[in-house]
Amino acid sequence: MPVPVLLVIVAVAVALSVPRATWRWFGLFTTLVHELGHAVAAILTGRVVHGIRIRRNHSGDALSSGRGALGTIVSGVMGYPAPAIVGAAQLWSVANGYTAVALFAGGVALVLTLLVIRNLFGFLVVLASAATSGALWFFASPQVQSYALLVLGIALLIGSVRGLLTVISVHVSRREQLGTSDAYLLFRRTGIPSPLWLALFVGVIGGCVVFAVPLYLPA
């Protein structure tokens, strides 16, 4: 990919995920991916997902139930890293010629998510995301699809880092909000200190960035 094209893609991704005006909207999609991370991890560990909620202030819930502590822990861990994992997977898919597969899989996941959304605002967020995915699938050229997935993947990586910095700031300077932190909730469930869970988040998110970025560095 020509360097000027890549720079434009990165600039668009940054414009989506950094300025407050655009993050107000794109951050809702990042929250959706965060909650889907909880939900998918719950399903994979044998839990039953009862519903997902997305709120205007970028908070959300993924409610599940099941036996055993492992599912609760894995589900709790997979929220903050989920946008980074999805973003890195999208960048890998484009680099290896699987753009159409990634776009189709994402669209199917969004349509299925409509079945478990439990609030109107969250439903609208998922519906808008699914409609965007469908429009790309049916109307965009393969090249435009690739560019769109690259923008989305980079923006999700940035959004994941942004979410990580936010939760770290909660533990450092806004401790009255600890109840919103997955790391604190994991500490309450397991007795393992919150800093260790934060370190795990840092490791997974950092690993995704280190994995994805070299795919597009000039040789």
**Residue-wise DSSP of the chain:** --HHHHHHHHHHHHHHHSSHHHHHHHHHHHHHHHHHHHHHHHHHTT-EEEEEEE-TTS-EEEEEE-SSHHHHHHHHHTTTHHHHHHHHHHHHHHHTT-HHHHHHHHHHHHHHHTTTB-SHHHHHHHHHHHHHHHHHHHHS-HHHHHHHHHHHHHHHHHHHHHHHHHHHHHHHH-GGGGGG-HHHHHHHHH---HHHHHHHHHHHHHHHHHHHGGGGS--
The domain total for the chain is 1
Q: How far apart are CA 114 and CA 187, in angstroms?
A: 31
Burial class (CB in 10 A: 0-12, 13-18, 19+), 113: buried
Q: pLDDT by residue (tens digit) across 141-164?
A: 999 999 999 999 999 999 999 999
Residue 59, domain member (yes or no): no
Segments forming the whole domain that contains residue 140: 3-20+81-213
Residue 209, domain member (yes or no): yes
Residue 61, domain member (yes or no): no
Residue 51, domain member (yes or no): no
The predicted pLDDT at position 39 comes to 95
**Cα of 206 vs its chain's centroid, Å:** 14
The chain-wide mean pLDDT, for the chain, equals: 93
Q: pLDDT by residue (tens digit) across 166-191?
A: 999 999 888 777 777 889 999 999 99
Mean local confidence (pLDDT), 36-46: 94
**Cα of 205 vs its chain's centroid, Å:** 11
The predicted pLDDT at position 219 comes to 53
Residue 116, domain member (yes or no): yes
Structure tokens at 31: 């929250």
Residue 98, domain member (yes or no): yes
Mean local confidence (pLDDT), 26-43: 96
Residue 74, domain member (yes or no): no
Residue 180, domain member (yes or no): yes
